[in-house]
């Protein structure tokens, strides 16, 4: 295996040939095998037989980047985190994220949102946005990807948490945005941030 990722109830792995398999809880269809049956051993994800670039499971949704660089998600989205244009939807097999059919380098999922790093070095996020974790300057849920403000290039890595998101830049400080109730953005405050702020130090 070349990569493995876990949520609290499922695990997904990418083989050396890029085949994507998942196992664990599947009541929402989050394993992407076309069923809602729990799996205690790896099961192939429909349509991801080779070349998978990135995978990110959460409790109810899993997202991955295909060999063609397209973002796809599956499971149950309640706040638009499937990126298919609907607030509430369910897919037991992978479905394309609107507007991200190519050019995606990696993907990450939070509690109810997801973000993608693009090959261009920019970022897109979608889903629940009550604390500003999509980074678009609002607290409005988004059912399709929106651009993260001020991050137009230079993203090396991206990560989503419960209600916040963070990036490592190829040059300059790490930046975070969203929920900051416990100071998890690292900017020296406990104020939620609707656009990226630099991590101190």
Mean pLDDT of 149-172: 95
Mean pLDDT of 3-9: 97
Mean pLDDT of 29-38: 98
User: Across the chain, what does the average pLDDT equal?
Assistant: 97
Mean pLDDT of 58-81: 98
Q: Does the pLDDT value for residue 70 go beyond 90?
A: yes
Closest among 148, 164, 163 to 199, alpha carbons compared: 164
Q: What is the pLDDT of residue 172?
A: 83
CATH of the domain at 62: 2.130.10.30
Q: Is 120 left (phi over 0), alpha (psi -120 to 50) or beta?
A: alpha
Question: For the segment 12-23, what is each residue's pLDDT rounded down to a tens digit?
Answer: 999 999 999 999
Cα dihedral: 42, 157, 71, 91 (round 10): 50
Structural element, H or E, at residue 62: strand 61-65
Q: What is the pLDDT of residue 1?
A: 81
Rounded CA separation 98/82 (Å): 9
Domain region containing 128: 3-198
Question: For the segment 166-201, what is each residue's pLDDT rounded down to a tens digit?
Answer: 999 999 889 999 999 999 999 999 999 999 999 998
Rounded CA separation 8/10 (Å): 6
Q: Does the pLDDT value for residue 33 go beyond 90?
A: yes
Q: How many domains does the chain have?
A: 1
Mean pLDDT of 106-120: 97
Cα separations (Å) of 104 from 70, 124, 137? 6, 10, 22
Mean pLDDT of 139-152: 97
Q: Does the pLDDT value for residue 158 go beyond 90?
A: yes
Please, which pLDDT band fits residue 121 given cuts at 50, 70 and 90? very high
């Amino acid at each position: 295996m070349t990569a493995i990722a876990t949520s609290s109830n499922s695990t997904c792995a990418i083989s050396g040939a890029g085949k994507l398999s998942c196992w664990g809880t599947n009541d929402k269809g989050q394993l992407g095998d076309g069923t809602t049956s729990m799996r205690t051993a790896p099961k192939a994800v429909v349509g991801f037989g080779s070349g998978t670039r990135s995978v990110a499971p959460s409790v109810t949704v899993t997202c991955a980047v295909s060999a063609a660089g397209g973002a796809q998600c599956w499971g149950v989205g309640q706040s638009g985190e499937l990126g298919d244009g609907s607030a509430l939807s369910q897919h037991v097999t992978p479905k394309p994220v609107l507007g991200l059919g190519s050019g995606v380098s990696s993907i990450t999922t939070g509690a109810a949102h997801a973000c993608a790093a693009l090959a261009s070095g920019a970022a897109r996020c979608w889903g629940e946005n009550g604390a500003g974790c999509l980074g678009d300057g609002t607290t409005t849920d988004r059912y399709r990807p929106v651009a993260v403000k001020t991050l137009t290039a230079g993203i090396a890595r991206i990560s989503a948490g419960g209600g916040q998101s963070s990036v490592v830049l190829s040059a300059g400080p790490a930046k975070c945005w969203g929920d900051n109730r416990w100071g998890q953005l690292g900017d020296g405050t406990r104020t939620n941030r609707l656009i990226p702020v630099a991590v101190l130090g």
